[in-house]
């Protein structure tokens, strides 16, 4: 059945206009976002299939490439879905703004929603001023964390440019286990030593996992 074959009053857009978004099912909300189905499947049936097969949470954990492997999901629909996921993370951060870092838990609160579902490791440098206020961040690497490819020049390039006196190292563990590897510990010590030569203090290294975190300086 095509959308145009559904009685007009029962179509998602018309129901949204009459009753508001809260009256719509998950599939109907998806249908409004995705807008169109495929040649063999209308957008409501496609939305029901996506939810049944992947669930809401798992669907938003897929990468752009993974989403495009799903029948009926091309580049545009994949980007629409990931845009929703990214906006949700940003809304979460906007509701809980933290401008000054007082402990590792502050770092976890800022970055947990953003990093918990990432399937690649992201190595982020959080830049602070002398009073521990956030002045910016930079991404040093993305992908497998390896001490051989962590270049201190890349890690400290933006802190030096922004006259940051302190930094906090942050990365995620897609495995869900926040405990550091020997490689993590070696990288941390290497960067602490490099920071001393540049008069930039490495305050901490926070590893963020699915539901918990580890910090070099302890919790």
CATH superfamily to which 97-215 belongs: Cytidine Deaminase, domain 2 (3.40.140.10)
- pTM given for the model: 0.63
Residue 93: band (very low, low, confident or very high) from pLDDT cuts 50, 70, 90: low
Q: For residue range 27-84, what is the model confidence (pLDDT) as tens digits?
A: 999 999 999 998 889 999 999 999 998 888 788 878 888 899 999 999 999 999 999 9
- pLDDT of res. 146: 59
- In angstroms, rounded to a whole number, what is the distance separating the alpha carbons of residues 170 and 205? 6
Interval 151-210: pLDDT, tens: 899 899 999 998 999 999 999 999 999 999 999 999 999 999 999 999 999 999 999 999
* Predicted pLDDT at 140: 86
Q: Per-residue pLDDT averaged across 82-92, rounded?
A: 83
For CATH 3.40.140.10, the residue range(s) in the chain are: 97-215
Q: 3-93, which class in CATH?
A: mainly alpha
- The span from the CA of 163 to the CA of 71, in Å, is 49
> Is the Cα dihedral 82, 150, 154, 136 positive or negative?
positive
- Per-residue confidence (pLDDT) for residue 33, from 0 to 100: 92
Instruction: Give the position of tokens 């979460």.
Output: 92
What does the block give as tokens for 122? 């992201």
pLDDT of 96 > 70? The answer is no
Sign of CA dihedral 107, 112, 114, 116: positive
Instruction: Output the six-digit token pair for 76.
Output: 């545009």
Residue that has been written with the tokens 């993974």 in this structure:
66
Higher pLDDT, 94 or 62: 62
CATH 1.10.150 domain span(s) along the chain? 3-93
Segment 116-154, tens digit of pLDDT: 888 889 999 999 999 999 998 998 888 766 555 688 998
* pLDDT score at 13: 92
């Amino acid at each position: 059945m095509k959308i145009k074959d559904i009685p007009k009053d029962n179509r998602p857009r018309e129901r949204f206009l009459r009753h508001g978004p809260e009256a719509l099912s998950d599939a109907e909300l998806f249908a409004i976002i995705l807008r169109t189905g495929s040649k063999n499947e209308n957008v409501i049936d496609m939305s029901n299939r996506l939810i049944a097969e992947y669930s809401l949470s798992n669907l938003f954990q897929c990468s752009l490439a993974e989403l495009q492997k799903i029948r009926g999901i091309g580049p545009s629909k994949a980007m629409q879905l990931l845009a929703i996921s990214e906006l949700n993370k940003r809304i979460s951060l906007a509701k809980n703004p933290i401008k000054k870092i007082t402990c590792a838990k502050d770092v976890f609160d800022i970055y947990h929603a953003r990093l918990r579902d990432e399937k690649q490791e992201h190595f982020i440098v959080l830049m602070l001023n002398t009073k521990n206020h956030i002045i910016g961040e930079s991404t040093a690497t993305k992908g497998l964390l390896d001490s051989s490819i962590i270049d201190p020049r890349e890690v400290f390039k933006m802190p030096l440019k922004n006259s940051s006196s302190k930094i906090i190292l942050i990365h995620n563990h897609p495995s869900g286990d926040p405990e550091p590897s020997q490689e993590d510990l070696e990288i941390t010590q290497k960067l602490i030593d490099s920071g001393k030569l540049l008069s930039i203090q490495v305050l901490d290294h926070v590893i963020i996992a699915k539901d918990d975190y580890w910090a070099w300086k302890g919790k």
